[in-house]
Amino acid sequence: MQKNIAGDLRRALLLFSVAVVTCCVLLAASTFAQDAVPTEILERTLFIKVGNDTGTAFKIDHGGKVYLVTARHVVAGLPTTAASIQVWRNGGWQDFATVRTLFPPDSDADIAVFETSEKLTQPYEVNVAEQGGGVTMGQQVWFLGYPFGLHSHFSDLEVPFIKRGTMSAMDTTNPRGVVLYIDGFNNPGFSGGPILFWNFTTHVIEIIGVVKGYRTDVARVVVNGQAVDVPILVNSGILIGYSIEHAIEAIEQGQAHP
């Protein structure tokens, strides 16, 4: 009788141990997923040049076609059809042909979308967030880009910088120009880059927005014990972006009027 009890106890402890280990592995995998940016979105985030100006753009898919998303101010002055930009590849600038340049219905949204002739056989792994987002205020986000034209070099692979921030606030006063405010220090060159977050509902990383830039502040110096504003604008540490839903609006408006 005592042997049976001891055997049952050992089996129960073994099952409990297996359950604990499994739980720990699953939690670790989930935690790692929340703390790492997939390689795919790094490879889809491009260093672009328009005239003499540079910035960041990234590919998304919609309806089986590939579109290149960036900030509207990065591509100012380009024609709305057959616009030619340049993309940095293999250590040099290469021409990148586009079909059309699409803009959201409201000019407040600092987003531009290039329609391309590229098509996909299957959707990208990292997709855009559905309307409404699902992002939680205060959660960690990432933003990708090429500050000052800098990037990582891995043999034949060149990928953007990855920075982190905190989702701080959202302004939905204009539903057609939803503004995202992120506590994160970005630099010139990030404009047009994707803003990513971990969706706690779908348990995947998604694209929530497009980087516009940062809110500026006036530098202050102390002269004879008095704080004086100087005519130098500095980075306040508040990143400004626009909701990715406006890129989808631009695409769908373009599809309705081919």
Q: What is the architecture of the domain spanning 36-256?
A: Beta Barrel (2.40)
- Position 7 confidence tier, pLDDT thresholds 50, 70, 90: low
Q: What is the mean pLDDT of the chain?
A: 85
What pLDDT sits at residue 24? Answer: 39
What pLDDT sits at residue 16? Answer: 43
Strand boundaries in 84-243, DSSP class E:
84-89, 92-97, 100-102, 112-119, 140-145, 152-154, 157-159, 161-171, 179-183, 194-199, 204-223, 226-243
What pLDDT sits at residue 22? Answer: 38
What pLDDT sits at residue 73? Answer: 94
What pLDDT sits at residue 150? Answer: 93
Both structure tokens of 222:
């102390």
Half-sphere exposure (CA, 13 Å, Cβ side) for 132?
2
Q: CA-CA distance, 209 to 12, in Å (whole number)? A: 49
pLDDT above 50: residue 214: yes
CA distances from 248 to 26, 61, 113, 156 (A): 34, 10, 9, 32
Name every residue whose Cβ is closer than 8 Å to that of residue 51 and which is 6 or more positions away in sequence: 77
- What percentage of the chain carries pLDDT values higher than 90? 60
Rounded to the nearest angstrom, the gap between the alpha carbon of residue 123 and the centroid of all alpha carbons in its chain is 17
Higher pLDDT, 19 or 121: 121
- Give 146-156 pLDDT, tens digit per residue: 999 999 987 77
- Position 116 confidence tier, pLDDT thresholds 50, 70, 90: very high
Q: Where are the domains of the chain?
A: 1-35, 36-256
Q: Enter the pTM of the model.
A: 0.83
